[in-house]
């Protein structure tokens, strides 16, 4: 067990996700790619953590592991105190369904479903009726500037609209852990700000955590902390302005 964690945690609510020496290699032998080489990171509860770094440094791999979409090869990880590696397959699937909202870089919308149906999937999986779920989906879509788009086919929408559908689907079931891969990449400045404010608001509870991978320097100021990745490790964590002022009105 490592005790000298290099990453400071100053969050009033403690640590939501704790990673120590987490490693992941894709492929074998001469084709092996060491995507993560020993990540040490504490992700605070009640906060928005951004993850930045050059293309290929392991950001998507890391967030896929902490969301339970991918397993690690080595190291330790707890998410809200739970080691996902010890869960049986069905328990892990249930945990993902209930606790995680994930915005994929490529959106991953289901083309056969309407926009509102795509967004309502997490609620239906939790047992909500389709009618009620679609109604909630349409309300959330309206707050993201997609009023009246619920019946559209997702692939008929622009990239920015599809991205907001993906965002709505990740938020609809109010997940404890929200993980976003470049959530503003297809949005203009005003929409990007609106979406990020919504995403950040979701972090403001002690049993929550939000992790956002981004290159978008227009939104860095919204971070409580920014973890910098390089070549498969987290080499630096900077606390943001928000976190320097824990007494500010934005904290719960
Ligand atoms: N499924 C995979 N199979 C093989 N290599 C992969 C796979 N996923 C990612 N990689 C490789 O792992 C490294 C890290 O990728 P990724 O986590 O996607 O980086 P980032 O999101 O920072 O761009 C890259 O070299 C990438 O090519
Ligand atoms: Mg990526």
Mutate to test the pocket of ligand 1, among 35, 54, 106 (most ligand atoms within 8 A of CB): 35
| pLDDT interval class at 88 (50, 70, 90) | very high
Question: In ligand 1, which atom is closest to the CA atom of 53?
Answer: 22
The answer to whether position 122 is within a domain reads no
pLDDT of residue 148: 96
Residue with CA closest to ligand 1 atom 20: 56
The tokens for 88 are 């049986």
Q: Is 164 helix (H, G, I), strand (E, B) or coil?
A: helix
* Counts of helices then strands in the chain (DSSP H, E): 7, 9
- 3-state DSSP helix/strand/coil percent for the chain, to nearest 5? 35, 25, 40
Mutate to test the pocket of ligand 1, among 22, 24, 25, 26 (most ligand atoms within 8 A of CB): 26
Q: Please report, rounded to a whole number, the percentage of residues in the chain having pLDDT higher than 90.
A: 90
pLDDT over threshold 50, residue 215: yes
The answer to whether position 101 is within a domain reads no
pTM of the predicted structure, to 2 decimals: 0.90
Q: What is the DSSP string of 98-148?
A: HHEEEE-TT----TTS-HHHHHHHHHHHTT--HHHHHHHHHHHHHHTT-TT
pLDDT over threshold 70, residue 248: no
- Domain region containing 198: 1-80+176-252
pLDDT of residue 144: 95
pLDDT of residue 10: 47
pLDDT of residue 13: 62
The answer to whether position 116 is within a domain reads no
What's the 154 CA to ligand 2 centre distance in angstroms? 22
Q: CB atoms < 10 A from the CB of 16, how many?
A: 28
Q: Which CATH number fits the domain that encloses residue 36? A: 3.40.50.300
The answer to whether position 136 is within a domain reads no
Mutate to test the pocket of ligand 1, among 27, 30, 34, 56 (most ligand atoms within 8 A of CB): 56
For the chain, the domain total comes to: 1
The answer to whether position 234 is within a domain reads yes
Residue with CA closest to ligand 1 atom 4: 26
Mean pLDDT computed over 79-108: 94
The answer to whether position 127 is within a domain reads no
pLDDT of residue 240: 79
Q: CB atoms < 10 A from the CB of 141, how many?
A: 25
The answer to whether position 139 is within a domain reads no
What's the 252 CA to ligand 1 centre distance in angstroms? 37
Q: Is 40 helix (H, G, I), strand (E, B) or coil?
A: strand
Report the mean per-residue pLDDT for the chain.
91
pLDDT over threshold 90, residue 247: no
* Ligand 1, CB cutoff 6 Å, lining residues: 26-27, 33, 35, 53, 55-61
Q: CB atoms < 10 A from the CB of 63, how many?
A: 21
Question: Rounded to whole angstroms, how far apart are CA atoms 43 and 15?
Answer: 6
What's the 233 CA to ligand 2 centre distance in angstroms? 14
The answer to whether position 133 is within a domain reads no
Q: What is the pLDDT of residues 175-211, one digit of tens each?
A: 999 999 999 999 999 999 999 999 999 999 999 999 9
């Amino acid at each position: 067990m490592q005790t000298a964690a290099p990453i400071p945690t100053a969050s009033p609510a403690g640590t939501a996700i704790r990673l120590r020496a987490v490693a992941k290699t894709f492929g074998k032998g001469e084709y092996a790619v060491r995507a993560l080489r020993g990540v040490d990171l504490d992700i605070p509860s009640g906060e928005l953590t951004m993850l930045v770094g050059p293309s290929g440094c392991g950001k998507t791999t890391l967030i896929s592991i902490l969301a339970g979409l991918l397993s690690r090869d080595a190291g330790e990880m707890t998410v809200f105190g739970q080691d996902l590696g010890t869960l049986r397959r069905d328990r892990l699937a249930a945990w993902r369904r209930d606790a995680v909202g994930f915005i994929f870089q490529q959106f991953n919308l289901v083309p056969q479903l309407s926009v509102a149906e795509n967004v309502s999937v997490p609620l239906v999986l939790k047992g909500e009726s389709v009618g009620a779920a679609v109604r909630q989906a349409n309300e959330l879509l309206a707050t993201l500037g997609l009023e009246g788009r619920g019946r559209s086919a997702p692939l008929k929408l622009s990239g920015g609209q599809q991205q907001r559908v993906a965002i709505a689907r990740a938020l609809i079931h109010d997940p404890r852990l929200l993980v976003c891969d470049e959530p503003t990449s297809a949005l203009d400045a005003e929409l990007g700000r609106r979406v990020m404010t919504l995403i950040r608001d979701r972090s403001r509870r002690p049993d929550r955590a939000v992790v956002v991978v981004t290159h978008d320097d227009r939104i860095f100021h919204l971070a409580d902390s920014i973890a910098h990745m390089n070549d498969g490790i987290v080499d630096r964590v900077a606390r943001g302005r928000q976190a320097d002022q824990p007494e500010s009105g934005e904290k719960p």
